[in-house]
A and B are shown apart, each in its own frame.
Chain A
Amino acid sequence: MKGDMCEDCGTNEAVIRLTHVVNNEMTVVGLCESCAAERGVDSSSSQVASPLADFLAQMSGDAVQETPSAQRCSFCGLSYRDFKQVGRLGCPECWSAFQGPLESLVRRIHGSVQHLGKVYLPPDPSASEVEKRLEGLRHRLDRAVQAEDFERAAAIRDRIQELRPEVEEAR
Chain B
Amino acid sequence: MDLNALPDLGLAWMEGSGEHSDIVLSTRVRLARNLQGHAFGPRARVNDREAVLVRMRRAVDQVELLNPALQVDLPEVGVRSRQVLLERRVVTRDLIGEDEGEAPVRGTAVVISGREPVNVLVNEEDHLRLQAFLPGLQLRNAWGLVDRLDEEMGGQLPYAFHPSFGFLTSCPTNVGTGLRASVLLHLPGLVLTKEISRVLHSLGQVGLTFRGLYGEGSEVVGNFFQISNQTTLGKTEDDLVDHLDHMVRQVIKHETQARQVLLRDARAVTEDKVWRAYGLLRYARTLSFDELMNLLSGVRLGMSLQLLPGLRVYTLNKLMIFTQPAHLEQAAGRDLTPVEQDAHRAAYVRQVLHGEAQAPSSSEERGSNAPFDGV
Q: A92-B160, A117-B237, A120-B159 are in contact. Are A106 and B165 (CB under 8 A)?
A: yes
Partner of B163, one of A23, A76, A86, A102: A23
**In chain A, residues 66-96, which have Cβ atoms closer than 8 Å to a Cβ of chain B?**
75-78, 82, 86-92, 95-96
Contact B168 A92 (CB under 8 A): yes
A contact set with B: CB distance below 8 Å: 22-23, 75-78, 82, 86-92, 95-96, 102, 105-106, 109-123, 132, 139-140, 143-144, 147, 149, 152
What's the Cα separation between A109 and B156 when bound, in Å? 31
Contact B172 A114 (CB under 8 A): no
What's the Cα separation between A121 and B232 when bound, in Å? 19
Q: Does B147 contact A (CB under 8 A)?
A: yes
> Which among A89, A92, A122 has the highest number of chain B CB atoms within 10 Å?
A92
Closest to A140 in B: B236
Partner of B40, one of A86, A90, A110, A143: A90
Further 18 A-B residue pairs, CB within 8 A, beyond A77-B43, A102-B172, A144-B238: A78-B43, A88-B170, A89-B170, A89-B172, A90-B170, A106-B176, A111-B231, A113-B164, A116-B234, A117-B237, A118-B147, A120-B161, A122-B154, A143-B238, A143-B239, A147-B239, A149-B238, A152-B238
What's the Cα separation between A22 and B162 when bound, in Å? 12
- The 3 A-B residue pairs with the shortest CB-CB distance, nearest first, are A112-B234, A90-B43, A115-B166
Selected A-B contacts with CB under 8 Å, 19 pairs: A77-B43, A91-B43, A95-B165, A95-B175, A102-B165, A109-B172, A110-B175, A112-B233, A112-B235, A113-B233, A115-B166, A116-B234, A118-B150, A120-B161, A121-B154, A122-B161, A123-B156, A132-B163, A143-B239
What's the Cα separation between A117 and B172 when bound, in Å? 16
Closest to A152 in B: B238
Q: Does B248 contact A (CB under 8 A)?
A: no
Contact B236 A90 (CB under 8 A): no
* Interface mask (B228-261 → A, CB under 8 Å = 1, otherwise 0): 0001111111110010000000000000000000
B contact set with A: CB distance below 8 Å: 34, 36-44, 125, 147, 150, 154-156, 158-173, 175-177, 179, 231-239, 242
Question: Total contacts A to B, CB within 8 angstroms?
Answer: 129
Q: Which chain B positions have C-beta within 8 A of A89?
A: 40-41, 169-172
Q: Which chain B positions have C-beta within 8 A of A102?
A: 165, 172
Shortest CB-to-CB span from B120 to chain A, Å, is 17
> Which among B36, B169, B234, B235 has the highest number of chain A CB atoms within 10 Å?
B234
Partner of A123, one of B43, B158, B234: B158
Partner of B172, one of A76, A106, A111, A132: A106
Q: A92-B168, A140-B238, A143-B238 are in contact. Are A109 and B43 (CB under 8 A)?
A: no
Closest to B170 in A: A88
Contact B42 A90 (CB under 8 A): yes
What's the Cα separation between A115 and B238 when bound, in Å? 13
Q: Which chain B positions have C-beta within 8 A of A149?
A: 238, 242
Q: Which chain B positions have C-beta within 8 A of A144?
A: 238
Contact A78 B168 (CB under 8 A): no
Shortest CB-to-CB span from A20 to chain B, Å, is 11
Shortest CB-to-CB span from A73 to chain B, Å, is 8
Shortest CB-to-CB span from B297 to chain A, Å, is 34
Q: Which chain A positions have C-beta within 8 A of B165?
A: 95, 102, 106, 113, 115
Contact A115 B172 (CB under 8 A): no
Closest to A155 in B: B144
